[in-house]
Amino acid sequence: MSQSPGFDPNEADNQSVTPLPSTGEITNTGIPVPPPPPTNVRVNFPQRKPYVSYSLLIITVLAYGLQVLTEIIFDIDMMAAVGMKVNSAIMEGQLWRLVTPIFLHGSLLHIGFNMYALHILGPQLERFFGHWEFFLLYMVSGFGGVVFSFILTENPSLGASTAIFGLLGAQGVFAYNNQRVFGLQARKALRSIVNIAVINFIIGLSPGIDNWAHMGGLIGGLVITYYGGPVFTLTGSLPNLEATNEKTSEQFIIATGITLLFFALLAAAIIFLPISLI
C-alpha cells in the first residue's frame, strides 16, 4: 500500500497537535435577559412653608391698596409721591426711596404680573434657601435694581420687578449649581429661565419700562446665589437619600453682605461725589 509522502503512521502518536482557537465562554443569546426592575428613590429636601414669600406678597398688595385709596381720597397717590424712585429727592437725602419702590406699583396689571411671579418663584426658593436667606435675597436684589436705576436713568420708577429679576437670576444659578442632583429637570429649568429673562429684557426696550432696574436686580440675585446659594449633595443609602447643603450660613451672609455693600457704594458715589453716569 502506498503511503502519503511526509506522513509516518508509526509516529502519529508522537505528533504535536495544535489546539483550536479558543471561542471564549459559550452563552445563550437566544433568550434576552430582562433589565432589573426600577428602584424608587426618595430624596428628602428641606421642608419649609413659604411664610416670607406670602408675607411680602401681602405687604405689597396692601401697599397698592393704600396707593389706590389715597388717590381716591386725596386725588393723589400719596404712597408713590413719598416712596417712588425720584433721583432729585434721593440726592436731597430721601434715601428710603432706594428701598420703598420695591413695594409700590403703577397699575393693577403691573402688580398682578409681579405678584404672580413672586407666587411662582418665591415658595420654591424659600424652601431651598431658608426664610431669612430668602428675605435678604429679595430685598438686596430689589435694592440693587433701584440703585442701578438711580445711577443710570433719571426717569422715576417703582415696582417689585427689581426683586423679581433677582429671584429669576437666583433660580437660574440654583438650577445650574444643582444639576447633579436634579439632572434633566435642572437643565430644562435653566433653559426656561434664560428664555424668560431674554424675553423680558426685549420687552423692557419698550418705553416706560426700566431695564436698568431689571439688570441690577438680576445681577444681585446671580451674585448672591452663585457665591452663597445652596448646593446640595445626596447622602445616606438607597432608597432613602438626604439632600445636604454644602454651603454654610456664613457663606450666604458674606455673599449677601458684599453684594449689598457694592450697591450701597455705587449709590454713595453718585450722592456724595461729583460723579454722574447719566
Give the active site residue among 105, 161, 192, 249: 161
Alpha-carbon dihedral sign for residues 260, 262, 268, 271: negative
Q: At residue 27, what is the residue type?
A: T
Strand order in the sheet with 240-245: 42-44, 240-245, 232-237
Q: Would you call the peptide bond into 239 cis, given omega within 30 degrees of 0 as the criterion?
A: yes
- The answer to whether 214 is a known catalytic residue is yes
- The answer to whether 119 is a known catalytic residue is no
Q: Which residues on neighbouring strands pair with residue 242, listed in sequence order? A: 44, 235
The three grid cell numbers given for residue 181, joined into one nine-digit string: 442632583
State the Rg of the chain over Cα. 32
Contacts of 186 (CB under 8 A, 6+ apart): 175, 176, 178, 179
String of DSSP letters for 43-95: EE------HHHHHHHHHHHHHHHHHHHHHHHHSS-HHHHHHSB-HHHHHTT-G
Cα–Cα distance for residue pair 167/129, rounded to 1 Å: 11
Give the active site residue among 214, 237, 249, 276: 214
Q: Find the largest Cα–Cα distance for the chain.
A: 135
The residue count for the chain: 278
Q: Does residue 180 contact residue 43 with C-beta atoms inside 8 Å?
A: no
- CA of 45: how far to CAs of 204, 232, 235, in Å? 36, 9, 11
* Catalytic annotation, residues: 161, 214
